[in-house]
Amino acid sequence: MAKAPVAKNQEFTVTIEDLSYEGMGVAKLDHYPLFVEGALPGETVVIRVVKAEKKYAFARLIQVVTPSPDRVTPKAQAYAQTGIAPLQHLAYPAQLKFKQHQIEMLYHKAQLAIPVRPTLGMTTPYGYRNKAQIPVRAIAGVVTTGFYKRRSHELIPLTDFYIQDPKIDAAVLVVRDLLRQYNVPAYDEATNSGVIRHIMVRRGYYSHQMMIVLVSRTWVVPHQAELVAGIKAALPEVTSIMLNLNERATNVILGPKTRTLDGNDYLEDQLLGSTFRISPLSFYQVNPTQTEVLYTAAVRAAGLTGREVVIDAYSGIGTISLTMAEHAKQVYGVEVVPEAVRDAKANARLNGVTNAEFLVGRAEDVMQTWKDQGLHADVLMVDPPRKGLAPEFIAAVGVMLPPKLVYVSCNPATLARDIAALQAFGYRATATQPVDMFPQTTSIESVTALTLG
């Protein structure tokens, strides 16, 4: 077995050639890659090897000898330690180019000749998240909120999360202080004991309505009435206080059961002029201003004229479907989560939309049924999770063969894989439009239109 050409604790002076998809600097010693957190392309740096594998190594940045012109001063080391803002040391215009470049490289690897347009970014690339899920733990016996150190379960105390709505950060501190005041035990994951596991906060960007969800190991929360009263007194924007039960020893944040303690069991907010009701477990894009940019790009890619029939294959609570309905003849949404379909139907009624229907089921199954019933779709809209399209779904597309497919992607690796598979049915992509939904992070969203023939 070949040995690694470097060993732990060795130091080298290297030049950074590129950024990995995780935002780590990449240097090479005789074609052997070293991944360096915090280093940027073009920089000469001193590094120390921390882990050496046969085909690659990880190294710690010791000194920047020659800095990149794109290097900026990070806001706080804790943001890098927790992974909240892994690109905070990279100037924002360079972040946008990095995301465009990542898609280009994946297309090149997959032998896809698809132009990638410049990434659409934000004017203010921080304070954008409308949702937070903050762990609650005891440190030295004191209830503490913060975020986990990367690749660990060590909690780093934080009061400012930089990329979240500052009103949400303030609300987390209010709840934390109430938990301290009433001595409500924090969750202990080592023993699966204690009470409060997480504080989840959602805030409407336009409505300013706020939802507080206490994620608890038990339905019995000490001083529950006092906590609710304290939250309402300190946070007048709160319209919903809920208790979510998660009894299991698991890394999954939310459990399946939720009770309303005060107010509504949903939050309302607006998106491109439509109003949406969002329940605690509903998926809703976390960057409201860039979601409008993303969905506008999707509508443009669909080329809707008002005469088309659209299928939205991952319709969720109806955000894309109802946006499309304004520009299409008819929209059919399909979603595997029954609660999301219930919310989508309610959102259609709420907005007076009569040309959108929603069904529960796996998209590949429902699409086959529609095909058998003679339903013809002009546009197929897909917005899958990070794992991309299932092979069964791609096979269903090959049966239905809609003339146009619009792919909203949150993972360029699975996007490239899926486009290559769709090409077998005669689909061709004209261009991909990246949209920066998650500034300061390595996450990449994009919109790609594919046409048949």
Kindly list the catalytic residues: 410
Who's near 152: CB < 8 A, 6+ residues apart?
A: none
299 vs 103, 173, 191, 384, 416, CA distance in Å?
21, 39, 50, 17, 21
Pairing of strands 11-15, 274-278: unpaired
Residue with tokens 């993303």: 294
Which helix (DSSP H) or strand (DSSP E) does residue 322 occupy?
helix 319-325
Q: Are 103 and 114 in contact (CB under 8 A)?
A: no
Region for residue 38 given its phi and psi (left: phi exceeds 0; alpha: psi -120 to 50; beta: otherwise): left
If DSSP states are collapsed to H, E and C, what string results for 42-55? CCEEEEEEEEECCC
For residues 308 and 377, what is the distance between their CA atoms, to the nearest angstrom?
8
User: For the chain, what is the total number of helices (H) and then of strands (E)?
Assistant: 10, 22
d(CA 231, CA 200): 13
CA angle 94, 109, 430 (to 5 degrees): 75
Residue 350 tokens, joined: 């709420």
Which residue is it, tokens 């594998």? 53
Q: Which helix (H) or strand (E) holds 345?
A: helix 338-350
Q: At 255, list the tokens.
A: 């459990």
Q: Which residues contact residue 300 at a Cβ distance below 8 angstroms, ignoring those fewer than 6 apart?
A: none
Q: How many CB atoms lie within 10 A of CB 317?
A: 28
Q: Which candidate, 50, 45, 84, 88, places its Cα nearest to that of 70?
A: 88
Helices (H), 152-287: 166-181, 224-234
Distance CA 112, CA 419 (A): 8
Crossing angle of the two packed helices 92-109 and 412-422, in degrees rounded to 10: 30
- What pairing do the DSSP bridges indicate for beta strands 330-335 and 356-360? parallel
